[in-house]
Each structure stands twice: as structure tokens, then as C-alpha cells.
Structure 1
Amino acid sequence: MTDASEDPNQEMQYHVELTPGDVADTVLLPGNPERVDKITGFWDDAEEVAYHREYRTATGTYDGEPISVTSTGIGSPSAAIAVEELARVGADTFIRVGSCGAIQPEMEVGDLVITTGGMRQEGTSKAYVRDEYPATADFEVVSALVAAAERLDYDYHTGVTMSADSFYSGQGRPGFEGFMAEGAEDLVDHLQEANVKNIEMEAAAIMTIANIYGLRAGAVCSVYANRVTGEFRTEGERRASETASLATKLLAKMDEVKAEAGVDRWHAGLSID
């Protein structure tokens, strides 16, 4: 029998410690709890509403539009918990805001990567659906992120993201004392040949789970490292945060335009100016 404290039908969610009304429709999902303050720095106002384990949540407004942010910690298992429990308290749109390693040589440190689809090299989404099910970003979320990056004049790339469960062997890096997992030495080369843009650890699971539940999801990550050139700098975090925040405003505008036009999906023939 399920203990009441872990019952997903309870009003107070077990891990994120949120209740209905605590978050906006759209929630940004960084990994690091410290990134919450950096994201809310772009907003009109913000208030921390919960902080339990790795899950730190703040809600406020950006350019007058309600918006929330919840940190998820590292990896897909904890990100999946966040999506599950945030959906239960009313969120319907999720944008991962993170950092990544770039695969293509022309991608610069500090550039943004807007995910259109994901390679499910994490194990969490496999607990939900068979391997053949695609991890795809919602078209409206991708469109809003691209429009935001264009308006902010930030360099960006779009394409497929690989999500891994391991920072070291699962991403082709040496483990302790130089250990290399089978296939790790050739991993980056194979991904580059397949036109994969970047590697991170949460996007594929977030998008897969959102798709299963009929919710919207996407991801924008700043390039910290280029795995081909060997360049590394912690740069571009603010760009990803600002782009995701503006995208939230644009998504709200898309929803208004859809309602006025009497359609279910936004498309390029509908203005969001």
C-alpha cells in the first residue's frame, strides 16, 4: 500500500513540495539550484516558493507574463520526477535550460543549442515507453526559442541532442584511472558523423515524458565545451536563461493568437508580434 506521503494524488507533491497554484503554466528547468537566481534576474519579479533536495522553485513574471523555474539536479531520473510532479500541480510546458558539450567543430563556446529532437541514451525514458518512441521537442517551443534567440541576437544552432546518463564514460570521456567503456573512444566521432549537435543529460527524458502526457517541452543549452576542438569555458549561461524567459512570453502570445484564430496549434502563418 502506498504511503500517503508518497501518494502522487496528494495535493502537496512529495519531492518538489509544491501544490496547485504554486507554479505558472510554463516552467524552466535548469539543473543547478544556483542557476535559479540567474534566471530570475531577468524577470520583473520572483519569489521562491519551495526548496527541497535538488528541487528549488521560484515563480514570478517576465514582461508581465507568469513564469516559474524549478531546478532538477543532474540527470534524467530527477528531471523526470520534476516533470511528473510539476504536471500534477498544473504546469503544461517545460523548457530545459542548461549547458552542454558541442559535437560539431563550427559551434563556438557560448553559442546556444535549441533541441529539435533527442537521442535517448538515458535510461529513464525507457521506463515509460519502448526504445523506438522518439524524443521530439514541441514545435511551438522550438519556434518560440528560435524567435527569442533571433530577437536577442544570440548565435544559436538547432538539431538533435544526445542525452546520456553518464558524464564520463557515457559521453566518451575517460573514467577513473583512464577507464574507457566499450565504444567510448569513437562515440564523439560517430555522433559528429550523424550530425548530432550536442550532448547533455536531461532533455530526451523531459521531451519523451512530456510527449506521452500531451504536454509541451523543449530545451536550450549553452555550449560550455566543444568536444571536437577541445575548447572549454563556462560561458553563455545568461544567454540561455534570457532566451528561455523570452520564449515563455512568446509562447503565451502564441496561445492568445491560437485562441483568437480558433485553432489548436500555432503555425508560421500566425503572427506573434
Structure 2
Amino acid sequence: MSDDDADESAEPMDSEDPNDDGEQYHLEVGPGDVADSVLLPGNPERVEKVVESWDDHDVVAEHREYRTATGTYDGTPISVTSTGIGSPSAGIAVEELARVDAESLIRVGSCGAIREEASVGDLVISTGAVRQEGTSKEYVREDYPATADYRVVSALVAAAEELGYDYHLGVTCSTDSFYAGQSRPGFDGFEARDSDEKIDELRQAGVLNFEMEAAAILTLASIYGLRAGAVCTVYANRVTGEFRTEGERKAAKTASLAVKYLAEMDGAVEDADASRWHAGLSIER
């Protein structure tokens, strides 16, 4: 029988939704495969570096750019799913993780700083993101804010402080292009229209860094009622011209510890019979 005949004889799907059977179409994870909190690096090879500081882990799925592992960090359930490069694939990850009951998502990556004070090897913890990418615009109007959940930001700051890492807190710019979109020259010196003006405007507005996924993750998480945040290690400083892959594991260690703190924050809310975590509630340090 030919491949064409096989296709014609296949049973029709009961639903247009490719995830109808519970296993997600792209991530290939199902209910119970991931913890409530999931770290989101871009590079699938970074998954093994993320889990180095965990107590244990198992790789539960691997398909295309998406590699997922689940384990524990200091006794706290935790997962990691790589998203590939850019907001379109990161948006797919958010969609499918939400469908298998993930509740907290933390982007873990690298970035280029556009302010001198954010040195190579430092961390940038995003409070929000400029939506200079197209994926989130497919979901909601352009003036809808991409904001990080205040609990995730608090947990990331607490983790960076505990680990003794230098970090910066502020707004990130997410782009669809590593080159033209981030005001870098393209092939043969090509420069995008208004390239210099764009980066100057962002600097003057206090934007700290460029990367390619945070805005979509934050926007979709907000729409779906999930907690989300982002922490990136600075690899490049666009002001000083430095570029080094330094401190690669800092963001992963910070995010992993932040997941533990989020669990403790949730416990403090339950113990206090409060409606949500606030600064008046303590967490164990």
C-alpha cells in the first residue's frame, strides 16, 4: 500500500485540536509529565545545564526544539522545557504547558544589554517587556502590557540576593530578529530603517536589554492567568562592545531557587489564610 493510500485510509480526527488525546502535539508531554513550575530556556542543550543543580530529574519528552525534564530542586517539584529561538516557538510552549496544568513559567536565557551598567555576566530580571515581536500581537491588542508576575519577580530577586549574583531589575525588549530587530548590522553591513534611533529611544526609556522570548511568554501567561517572569544572563553589552558567554548557569540557578521560594510563598499564603502573597508574609530563607 502506498503512503498516499495509507493517508486516505487513516481514521479522521474527532477534533481539529491536534492535542485532543491529551499528549501535546509539539512538546509531546501529557498530564502529569510536568510540575506546576516550569523553567523555559531557549536552547535544548541548555536543559542539561539547568538540571545540574537539581536533586534529580528525568527527561520526559523530546521533540524538535522542545526538550522537557522533570525532577526536584531542594525537594520542590520542578520542570524545564526548552523553547527554541524566538517568540513563535515560545508561544507554542506556553500554550501546551498551560494545557497540562503548568502554573508558573520562568524564562531562563541570555541577552544583550543596552545600558553600560549591565555588565557581561550580570543578570537581568525583567519586570516587563517591550512587545517588539509579532507573536503576542496575534493574541491581543498592541497596547496590552507584557508584565511579569510580581511574585515571580520577588522570588527571582530573593534568589539572586541569596546566591550573591549581580543583577539588574527593569524592562526588557523582545524582538523577532537577532540582527536587524536588535539594531545590529545585517549581512554585508545592511542597516534596518531607523536602527540607531530605535536603540537610542529604548536606552532613553530605561530599557535594559534585548532578547527574543520574554514578551510573548509574559503576555500569554497574563492572558491565561499564569505566573510568569524572566531572568537572563548578559552575554553582550552593546555600549561597551563586550561579548562573552560568561555566567551561563547563573540564570538557571537563580530560576531554580526562585521556584523553591514560590512554593514557600504559596505555603505562607495557605498558613496565613490570605488571598495572595504579599510583603507582609515571610518565606523561609
TM-score by shorter chain over 0.5: yes
CA shift, 1:49, in A, is 0.4
* 3-state SS, counterpart of residue 237 of structure 1: coil
Deviations 1:78-123 (A, max 9, x none): 0000000011011010000000000111111000000001100000
Helix, strand or coil at the partner of 1:182: coil
Kindly provide the CA deviation profile for residues 169-194 of structure 1, in whole angstroms up to 9, marking residues without a partner as x: 00001111111111112322221111
Most deviating of 128-137 and 259-268: 259-268
Runs of 5+ consecutive residues of structure 1 not aligned to the other structure: none
| Larger radius of gyration between Structure 1 and Structure 2 | 2
Q: Which of 65, 76, 83 is residue 72 of structure 1 equivalent to?
A: 83
Mean alpha-carbon deviation: is it higher for 204-213 or for 173-182? 173-182
1:54 to 34, 41, 65: 65
Structure 2 letter corresponding to 1:191? L
Q: Is the 8 A contact 1:98 1:221 kept in 2?
A: yes
For residues 9 and 86 of structure 1, the distance between their equivalents in structure 2, rounded to whole angstroms, comes to 14
| Match of residue 43 from structure 2 | 32
Q: What is the aligned counterpart of 1:124 among 123, 135, 138?
A: 135
The count of residues paired between Structure 1 and Structure 2 equals 273
Give the match's secondary structure for 1:36: helix
Establish whether residue 101 from structure 1 lines up as the match of residue 130 from structure 2: no
| Matching residue of 1:112 | 123
Q: Which residue of structure 2 aligns with residue 165 of structure 1?
A: 176
SS in 2 for 1:221: strand
State the one-letter code of the partner of 1:67: I
% identity of equivalent residues? 70
Q: Is the 8 A contact 1:6 1:14 kept in 2?
A: no
**Is the CA contact (8 Å cut-off) linking 1:72 and 1:82 kept in structure 2?**
yes
User: Normalised by the size of structure 1, how large is the TM-score?
Assistant: 0.97
C-alpha distance in 1 between matches for 2:14 and 2:81? 25
**Matched residue of 1:68: which SS?**
strand
The corresponding residue for 1:89 is: 100
What is the aligned counterpart of 1:233 among 241, 244, 248? Answer: 244
Q: Which AA in structure 1 matches 2:51? A: T
Partner SS, residue 208 of structure 2: strand
Moved over 3 A (4+): 1-6
Which deviates more, 140-149 or 100-109? 100-109
Kindly state the Cα deviation for residue 143 of structure 1 after the two structures are TM-superposed.
0.2
* Separation (CA, whole Å) in 2 of partners of 1:102 and 1:2: 47
Task: Letter of the 1:122 partner, please give it.
Answer: E
Amino acid at match of 2:249: R
Give the letter aligned to residue 37 of structure 2.
T
Distance 2:67 2:159 in 1: 25
1:31, 1:101 → 2: CA distance?
A: 15
Q: Secondary structure at the match of 2:68?
A: strand
Which residue pairs with 1:17 in the alignment? 28
Alignment match, 1:153 = 164
Match of 1:245 among 243, 250, 256: 256
Provide, for residues 150-205 of structure 1, a one-character-per-residue CA deviation record: whole Å limited to 9, x for no partner.
00000000000000000000000111111111111232222111100111000000
1:177 counterpart SS class? helix
Q: Give the aligned residue type for 1:126.
A: K
Q: What residue number does 1:193 align with?
A: 204
Q: How many Å separate the matches in 1 of 2:194 and 2:181? A: 9
Instruction: Check conservation: 1:5, 1:14, Cα contact below 8 A.
Output: no
Once residues 127 and 8 of structure 1 are traced to their aligned partners in structure 2, the CA distance between those partners, rounded to angstroms, is 20
Superposed displacement of residue 262, structure 1: 1.6
Question: 8 Å contact 1:172–1:186 — kept in the other structure?
Answer: no
In structure 2, how many angstroms separate the alpha carbons of the residues matched to 1:272 and 1:266? 10
CA RMSD of aligned residues (A): 1.3
Distance apart, 1:263 and its partner CA? 1.9
TM-score, reference length from structure 2: 0.93
